[in-house]
Amino acid sequence: MRKTTIFYNKKLKLKDPIMVVGLPGIGSVGSMVAEHIKNEMKAEKFASLYSPYFPHQAIMQRNGGLRLVNNRFYHFKNKEGRSIVLLVGDTQAGTPRGQYDVNEKIVRFMKKFNSKYIYTIGGYSAGPQYVQNPRVFGVATNKKTINELKKFGIIFGHASGSIWGSAGVIPAFSKLHDINSACIMGETGLLEIDANAAKAVLKVMMKLLSIDINLENIDKIKKETEKILKNLQEEQARAMSGEAGQAPSKENMTYIR
C-alpha cells in the first residue's frame, strides 16, 4: 500500500450528511464519544481507510484472524432522517506528513457526499487533576457555526493553545474546502480514559445530532474511575501521614535515578 486509500464495504446514498470524528487522543474522549454513539445507534460500517502513515501493526481478532490498523466509517440516520457519519479508528497518522495526507483525504471523501458539517471530538487538558464537572469547549471555522453551537452549551473563546492531530487538522482542511466544521472538546484532567469528559460531550452531541442514547455504560466507567482515584488518594494520604515526623532509615530511604 503506497498511499492512503478508502475502500467501500457498501455503497450508500447519504442525505445531507453530518460527520462526527472520534479518534484516539487526550483522555480517549473522542474515541469514547464516537464508539458509544456507534454502538447505541447500531451504526453500519460502509467504508474503511488504510494508510502507510499508520503504525506497522496488525490487530489480533477474537475469531483467530487479524487485520491491519485502520479508520472506519459508519452510518445511521437521526430522528429527522438525516445521515450521520461516524469515523472511528485504531490510530492516527504518526507523522506531520501523514496527518496532512490522511486528514485531507477524509475531508475530500465527505465533500463527495456534499457534507455541510464536520465535527471532531477531542479532550481539552485542564491539568493533572480530575475534573468533576467538565465543561465543553469549542473552536469553529466561521462565526455562523460558532453562533449555532453556542445554543447547545458549547463554550467558545475560552480554550487556548494548539489542537494536535485529526481533531484540529480536519476542521482546518474543512475550512479550505468550504465545509462548516468545529472541534468540540471535553475538559479532562489527563486521565488515560476520561468517561466523565466523554459524558459531558455526549450530552451536547445528543442535542446537536438530534439523537437519543443511553449513557449507562459511560456512567459505569465513570464510577469505576472515580472509585480507583479515591482509593489512590486514600493510599497517598495514609502514606503521607505514616511518614510524617519520621527520620529516614535505611529501610524506608528511596533514591531517584
Alpha-carbon dihedral angle through residues 114, 116, 121, 122, given to the nearest 10 degrees: 100
What are the DSSP calls for 192-250, one per residue?
Answer: SS-HHHHHHHHHHHHHHHT-----HHHHHHHHHHHHHHHHHHHHHHHHHHHHTTPPP-T
The enclosing domain of 31 has a CATH number of 3.40.50.10900
| Total number of domains in the chain | 1
Q: What is the pLDDT of residue 253?
A: 34
Summarised one tens digit per residue, pLDDT across range 33-64 is: 999 999 999 999 999 999 999 999 999 999 99
Could you tell me if 142 and 176 are in contact, meaning their C-beta atoms sit under 8 angstroms apart? no
Residue 143 has pLDDT above 50, yes or no: yes
The parent domain of residue 74 ranges over 5-214
Q: What is the pLDDT of residue 190?
A: 67
Q: Which of 76, 43, 38, 53 is nearest to 5 (CA)?
A: 53
Answer yes or no: is 246 within a domain.
Answer: no
Distance CA 70, CA 53 (A): 10
pLDDT band at 257 (very low <50, low <70, confident <90, very high): very low
Q: What is the pLDDT of residue 232?
A: 79
Summarised one tens digit per residue, pLDDT across range 160-169 is: 899 999 999 9
Could you tell me if 181 and 119 are in contact, meaning their C-beta atoms sit under 8 angstroms apart? yes
- Average pLDDT of every residue of the chain: 91
Answer yes or no: is 91 within a domain.
Answer: yes
Answer yes or no: is 236 within a domain.
Answer: no
Summarised one tens digit per residue, pLDDT across range 172-223 is: 999 999 999 999 999 998 688 999 999 999 999 999 999 999 999 999 998 9
Answer yes or no: is 192 within a domain.
Answer: yes
Q: What is the pLDDT of residue 244?
A: 56
Answer yes or no: is 13 within a domain.
Answer: yes
Answer yes or no: is 247 within a domain.
Answer: no
Answer yes or no: is 47 within a domain.
Answer: yes
Answer yes or no: is 244 within a domain.
Answer: no
pLDDT band at 235 (very low <50, low <70, confident <90, very high): confident
Residue 96 has pLDDT above 90, yes or no: yes
Q: Above pLDDT 90, what percent of the chain?
A: 77
**Coil, strand, or helix at residue 68?**
strand
Rounded to a whole number of angstroms, the distance between the first and last alpha carbons of the chain is 44
